[in-house]
Amino acid sequence: MSVLVSVGIILLAVLIMSFLTLSSGAYALFCHYAYGRFSRKRASEYTFLFILGTEITSSCIFLSTYTLVAVVIADLSHLGIDIITWFLTGIMFALSIVSLFFYYHRGEGTRLFIPRKIANSINYHAKTAKTRSDAFALGALCSTPELIFTLPLFVITSGEILQLSISHPSNSFLTIIYIIVPIIPLLITRWLYHKKHNLAVIQRSRVHNKNFTKFILCTSYLLIAILLICFRI
Amino acid sequence: METTFNEEELRKELTIDAKGLGIPSGAADSFIDRTLKATKKAMKNRQIITQNDLKRTVTKELAKYNADFAYVYKNRDKII
């Protein structure tokens, strides 16, 4: 039962990571400018480096969190970790409300909660990126503003994977899934651009699915909180 | 916010947008020329030009030729 709960929490976390839209929105914008300014071959290379930048940065943050959680659990295990679990459950409830009401700005489009200066900075760098390192750095930049939504998930997932490693050898497989699956939306966007779709089509689809995204994020955070209350406290 | 109508800069921006959308270059040049001509005419008699005025006028003109082009120009600061 504990194994099923851990797998369930990890899969819900993967779902949330896939539905967070900053990286995919910035990637769609960057693809538009890259295909507008460079040849198809060069644009394809730069957009691939963006994905690499996003993936490597978020993997590094996750693996660092995993190591930290392993150390903290080893140090605090004699005290019991109920307080930390309650704290994380509270954060999950808070994030479910925040994702429903504050993830997107009100009004047209898919403007996110991030400060306008950061959004404008991402826009500017997407428009003016000229080299491979610019593309990589832009990808790395885009994976950090949403840490408020992803860092608690990293902590919870690390705890669950560590728990699983005691009873089951499948933790490496789950870690790999957790790292790889969230870049699937970027790969889908890349495939769409290869199929000669454009930013207008992609953006209209993002606007159309705004409410669905909010619903999935809210529900997933809520389910994780409920699972933690029922099975971890 | 106040701005100035810089035809060359706007032409460059619109050319990049058109190429990114996959609009053939000949058609794109034609759309952009007509849009800029109409925008220049609309902005001629204004003493103060705001960014919203410019955006609204360009979007209105682009919409006559290509809906996707107008949509992207109007919404590219509303993506993230």
Residues of the domain holding A116:
2-232
In the numeric block, which tokens belong to residue A75? 């140090």
* Cα nearest neighbour of A36 on chain B: B20
How many angstroms separate the CA atoms of A97 and A106, rounded?
Answer: 15
- Residue A26 and residue B80: Cβ atoms within 8 Å? yes
pLDDT of chain A, 233 residues: tens digit per residue: 788 999 999 999 999 999 999 999 999 999 999 999 999 999 999 999 999 999 999 999 999 999 999 888 767 665 667 888 999 999 999 999 999 999 999 988 999 999 999 999 999 999 999 999 999 999 999 999 999 999 999 999 999 998 887 666 667 788 888 889 889 999 999 999 999 899 999 999 999 999 999 999 999 999 999 999 999 88
> Tens digit of pLDDT for each residue in B4-63?
889 999 999 999 999 999 999 999 999 999 999 999 999 888 888 899 999 999 999 999
- Residue A201 and residue B68: Cβ atoms within 8 Å? yes
Rounded to 5 degrees, what angle do the CA atoms A88, A175, A144 make? 60
Q: How many residues does chain A have?
A: 233
How many angstroms separate the CA atoms of A119 and B78, rounded?
Answer: 9
The sign of the dihedral angle between the CA atoms of B54, B59, B62, B63 is negative
* Number of structural domains chain A divides into: 1
> Tens digit of pLDDT for each residue in A157-216?
999 998 887 666 667 788 888 889 889 999 999 999 999 899 999 999 999 999 999 999
Q: Give chain A's contact residues with B (Cβ, < 8 Å).
A: 22, 25-26, 28-29, 31-37, 107-112, 114, 119-120, 122-123, 196, 198-201, 203-204, 206
